[in-house]
Copies of this chain bind each other. A is one copy, B any other.
Amino acid sequence: MVSISDVAEDAGVSASTVSYVLSGKRSISADTQRRVEASIRRLNYHPHAGARALASSRTNVLALVMPLRTDIHMPAMMRFVTSVVTTARRHDYDVLLLTSDEGPAGLRRVANSAMADAFLVMEVQSDDPRIPVLRELSRPSVLIGVPDDPGELPCVDLDFAAAAKRCVAELADAGHTDIGLIGSPPVVYERGTSFAGRFLRGFQEATRGLNAVMRSCAPDYEAVGRCLDELFAENPEVTGLVVHNEAALGSVLAELRNRGRHMPDEISLVAVGQDTAAHREVPLTTVPLPTEDMVRIAVELAMRALQGSSTPETRLLTPQISPGKSVAPRR
């Protein structure tokens, strides 16, 4: 391994000068700078991460805590994960991947063994058991999702209440008065996953004065069929559908077709999520999850917390609608 003293020797300077060239923490003469940089390149020098962490108490590693549940929509998660890696790299950070299944002990282990400088936590629930643990850690963390009581922890999320309102408005504006919601699976509400509850409350508020009906829906084919049957049984007049359940979306579309409800002229639909909105028979009107923006903000909040200039804040992103052809005026 090439070490800093190899570079120093090669460039004819001291090790500390090499270090300062790398960090830019003190001014260096143009000539020295040039020689050191040349040596670094020539020797293909990379500072030893462990040595650096030991000396500086900085790892330049972000720990990403992902849920290990299987009832989560995989493509959405994967987008988050890749986005975190590419965003972190822009700040010269690498990403250590943790699953929640090691529990609180895993978080403590990584924090106390100085493997990461900060934590990014995905899929935060209303009453997330990880929150008290994160709070007592010696390192900052940023929540993706909003718990009931974030305390001092910064949070980022889509404003799901506003998203629900946006979906309903899109349908109401087209004249629909009888609107159904295909929501997340029951287990998601039971667990108190924060975004599901916030979306539901937004939906309920937005449909005041309209005829609203809601079904929580597991993603499997049979459950989706049952949900639709029940929903239309409760209110046969439903002509507008909001789907907040990416995993079930494919089955919902198939089952509507099976039931002969043609989209958009017989049933209008707005979906939350984006996965293959463009790849459908009828391009969907969607409220996409702004993954990139959420991750960018989350990483920025983490960087700010690491600089010590952090004021805890909850950032709710305003939902945007992406128009497709799945909403038509009510006939």
Contact = CB atoms under 8 A, between A and B. Distances in A.
Interface of A: 1-2, 44-54, 59, 61, 64, 66, 68, 74-75, 77-79, 81-82, 85-86, 89, 94-99, 101-102, 108-110, 112-115, 138, 219-221, 250-251, 253-254, 257-258, 276, 278-281
B97 A81 contact: yes
Cβ-closest 8 pairs across A and B? A50-B53, A74-B75, A50-B50, A46-B112, A46-B113, A220-B279, A74-B78, A50-B54
A65 to B, nearest CB: 11
Nearest to A66: B82
23 contacts: A1-B138, A2-B112, A44-B112, A46-B112, A47-B113, A48-B113, A48-B114, A49-B50, A49-B53, A49-B113, A50-B52, A50-B53, A54-B54, A64-B97, A68-B86, A75-B78, A78-B81, A86-B101, A94-B96, A96-B97, A221-B281, A250-B250, A253-B254
B94 A95 contact: no
A122 B113 CA distance: 28
A59 B64 contact: no
Contact of A110 (B94, B138, B251): B94
Contacts of A86: 68, 99, 101
Contacts of A81: 78, 81, 97
A253 B258 CA distance: 13
Nearest to A59: B50
Contacts of A44: 108, 112
A54 B44 CA distance: 19
A79 B74 contact: yes
Contacts of A94: 96-98, 110, 115
A114 B1 contact: yes
Nearest to A52: B50
Contacts of A279: 219-221, 251
A283 to B, nearest CB: 9
Contacts of A46: 108-109, 112-113
